[in-house]
């Protein structure tokens, strides 16, 4: 038996997605750049998927959706593409202190290349210090990039007033919406984002495909040069099967959004309730009033999260100790940036739920977790960490 509780890391492709993709691996293999029949059919499939993704994120179906090889690539294109295209006077990039590595590492690379980088702090719940952001905004800022829903804690940023403030100083706003899309309602136009990154495999689509939305008139410097595909911004023959899969997943996620949120929130809440009934010494990380319905990040002070995860794995339960991109690299920088102590950070485990989970799986996981945490000292599990 395997219980998978790491849907923020990746999700299985839905059967409908696999079925939609299958013909494009063999029967419908045309190159979308060709003008003959098979090429035109492939190109048409791409345009259909483009409109499907646009509708999921709340923009006009004719909007510019650039397909990429991943959300990481989409975010790289957004940050590097905008900053390298901005005027010489706009050399400053602002990001939050809790960004995904795709944003953080791209920002640091730009800083090494001579751009200025500003970091916006967050509070204990992971919400942005808006006053600090507003104070940093001036006519030297070219782009503000924020993670809308945090992959580790599930905190959903309060974006009210941010786009207006960013635009008032002439800058642009990019949102990393990888965790938001498919889990909460996304209305890109209403929130005023100029660019928005999404991932296929985070919303029951295939791996190896991402997308970047860019608003009207947004100019980018490409990362990849060549044949001029994807509006001359991402050259290379398109991954038609992956694009079709992403489009199909977008349609399904849009149709099932409310049901998904209600279902996963019920599992998360059941998990929390059972945990509270059996354990006193734990902390729930993230904003209790504004977080993803499927995400629960818990600190067990004095415990070692990696050892907890290993014990869970032996019981057939898969959970994370942080971002999938950083789980092998030590403690969570996100939790540290939120002001969590080393003891809290070292003991943090993330559980993220999905369509395939059941109440029975939640019950079994909590019982197993309580057994691990309450294991007597000297039984080969963990030792207390002293501050």
Q: Quick one: tokens of 47?
A: 């345009």
How far apart, in whole angstroms, are the C-alpha atoms of residue 349 and residue 15?
30
User: Could you say which of 169, 253, 325, 340 is catalytic?
Assistant: 325
Within 10 angstroms of residue 281's Cβ, the number of other Cβ atoms is: 11
374, with CB counted inside 10 A (0-12, 13-18, 19+), is exposed
Angle between helices 359-373 and 305-314 (to 10 degrees): 130
List for the chain the helix, strand, coil content (%; round to 5). 40, 15, 45
Are the C-beta atoms of residues 299 and 344 closer than 8 Å to each other? yes
Does 253 participate in catalysis according to the annotation?
A: no
How far apart, in Å, are the Cα atoms of 39 and each of 19, 67, 226, 242, 253?
A: 20, 17, 19, 16, 28
Q: Quick one: tokens of 381?
A: 């599990």
Q: What DSSP string describes 35-88?
A: -SHHHHHHHHHHHHHHHHHHHHTTS-TTSEEEEES-HHHHHHHHHHHHHTTS-T
DSSP 3-state of 256 = helix
Angle at the Cα of 330 from the Cα atoms of 324 and 336, rounded to 5 degrees:
95
Among residues 95, 79, 174, which one has the least CA distance to residue 128? 95
DSSP 3-state of 218 = coil
How far apart, in whole angstroms, are the C-alpha atoms of residue 332 and residue 342?
9
Backbone angles phi, psi at 127, to 5 degrees: -85, 145
Q: What DSSP string describes 352-365?
A: E--TT--HHHHHHH
Q: What DSSP string describes 167-184?
A: HHTT-EEEEE-TTTBTTB
How far apart, in Å, are the Cα atoms of 339 and each of 97, 126, 157, 289, 334?
A: 11, 9, 17, 18, 9
| Active site (catalytic) residues | 325
């Amino acid at each position: 038996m395997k219980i998978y509780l790491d849907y923020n890391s990746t999700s299985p492709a839905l059967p409908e997605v696999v079925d939609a993709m299958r013909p494009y691996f063999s029967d419908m293999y045309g190159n979308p750049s060709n003008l003959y029949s098979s090429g035109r059919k492939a190109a048409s499939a791409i345009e259909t998927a483009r409109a499907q993704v646009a509708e999921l994120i709340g923009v006009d179906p004719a909007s510019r959706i650039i397909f990429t090889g991943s959300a990481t690539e989409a975010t790289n294109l957004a940050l590097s593409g905008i900053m390298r295209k901005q005027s010489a006077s706009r050399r400053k990039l602002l990001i939050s202190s809790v960004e995904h590595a795709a944003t953080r590492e791209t920002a640091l690379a730009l800083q090494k290349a001579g751009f200025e980088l500003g970091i916006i702090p967050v509070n204990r719940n992971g919400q942005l210090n808006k006053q600090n952001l507003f104070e940093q905004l001036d006519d030297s800022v070219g782009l503000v990039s924020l993670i809308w829903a945090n992959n580790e804690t599930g905190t959903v940023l309060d974006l009210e007033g941010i786009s207006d403030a960013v635009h008032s100083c002439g800058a642009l706003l990019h949102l990393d919406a990888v965790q938001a899309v498919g889990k909460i309602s996304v209305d890109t136009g209403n929130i005023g984002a100029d660019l928005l990154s999404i991932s296929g495999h985070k919303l029951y689509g295939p791996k190896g495909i991402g997308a970047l939305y860019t608003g009207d008139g947004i100019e980018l410097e490409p990362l990849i040069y060549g044949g001029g595909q994807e509006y001359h911004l991402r050259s290379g023959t398109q991954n038609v099967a992956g694009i079709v899969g992403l489009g199909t997943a977008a349609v399904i996620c849009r149709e099932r959004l409310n049901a998904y949120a209600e279902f996963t929130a019920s599992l998360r809440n059941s998990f929390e309730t059972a945990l509270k009934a059996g354990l006193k010494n734990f902390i729930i990380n993230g904003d209790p009033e504004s977080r993803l319905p499927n995400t629960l990040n818990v600190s067990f002070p004095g415990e070692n999260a990696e050892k907890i995860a290993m014990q869970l794995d032996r019981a057939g339960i898969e959970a994370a100790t942080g971002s999938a991109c950083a789980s092998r690299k030590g403690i969570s920088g996100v939790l540290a940036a939120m002001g969590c102590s080393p003891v809290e950070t070292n003991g943090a485990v993330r559980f993220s739920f999905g369509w395939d989970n059941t109440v029975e799986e939640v019950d079994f996981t909590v019982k197993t977790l309580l057994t691990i945490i309450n294991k007597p000292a000297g039984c080969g599990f963990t030792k207390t960490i002293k501050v």
